[in-house]
Structure 1
Amino acid sequence: MIVVAIIGILASIALPAYQDYTIRAKLSEVIIAMSACRTSITEVYQTGGKAPAANGWGCEGQSTRYVANVSTDANGVVTATIATGISGFVDGKSVTLIPYVGGLPGNSATDLGKGINSWLCGGAGTNLPTKFLPGSCRG
């Protein structure tokens, strides 16, 4: 009986941790799907090219098994909507990737030609719990 109780206690701890891990692993695909947009937007900012309108960066709309949609705004903020079927905790939620120029969010009207210093993953517009974001995307 004691052995059964110990196994039950261990399972009650391990199972939720494993479920969180599998959700994070699936969300890694969401981050990878946004990387094409990150590359396109970085090139436009660095070369000083003309910034397109929202969803005009040439990388939007792609969907995968775990990504319903990828969209961008005029400043290059990338938003990926998570597909349904992963978990009720994350289905239909969004993850954002925000370009930063000189420590501030990028502005395509004033920052083109300056180059992007960094990208903030999981910033404003991300509406899922931080514990489900991959380690590389925890703001």
Structure 2
Amino acid sequence: MKKTQQGFTLIELMIVVAIIGILAAIAIPAYQDYTKRAKASELLSIASGAKASVADYIVTTGNLPTNATQAGFQDQTTAIVSGMAWANNRIEITGTAEVDNLVLRLTPSTTTAGAVTWTCTASGAPKLAPASCRQ
């Protein structure tokens, strides 16, 4: 009588474990990068309130504010924001170590029609910056 094989051999199991290890080695860093980018995009969302306050001030007075209080926003800190300030005629929002200390700079300008437009630049960890802030 011929005995039939039941189950997997040791080599087959070792190959499966190796394949799973390779996939995990690729997937885990990609996922970590994705979560950091998502958090970095949140910096831009958090700055939207400050952008609205500054734009309102510019439209109302025709001038740039001299400080954050005059612009109508407060410095705020969260799990991913270590600070937000009005400096050098722009909003600077600084991320924490969770987003590799990324700094987004939002610079206002006015059009001939009086509308306020924003230019975003990034430093610190440019690969994490939202697409609108990359040069």
Highest CA radius of gyration, 1 or 2? 2
Q: Percent identity?
A: 37
- Greater fraction helix: 2
Equivalences for 1:48-67 in 2 at 5 Å?
A: 48-55=61-68, 56-67=70-81
Question: What is the TM-score when the length of structure 1 is the normalising length?
Answer: 0.71
Output one character per residue of 1:63-109: Cα deviation in whole Å (capped at 9) or x when no partner.
1121111001363x11111124x15xx13x4111122334xxxxxxx
Indicate how the Cα distance of structure 1 residues 120 and 49 shifts in structure 2: closer, same or farther if over 3 A, else same: closer
CA distance in 2, matches of 1:12, 1:132: 21
Counterparts of 2:67 and 2:88, CA distance in 1 = 4
The size of the alignment, in residue pairs, is 121
Would you say the 8 A contact 1:24–1:132 is kept in 2?
A: yes
For 2:20 and 2:33, locate their aligned partners in 1 and report how far apart those are by CA, in whole Å: 20
Instruction: Could you tell me which runs of 5 or more consecutive residues in structure 1 were left unpaired when the two chains were aligned.
Output: 103-110
Counterpart code for 1:120: T
Greater RCO structure (CA 8 Å; 6+ sep):
1
2:74 pairs with 1:36: no
Shift of 1:49: 4.1
Q: What amino acid is the match of 1:96?
A: R
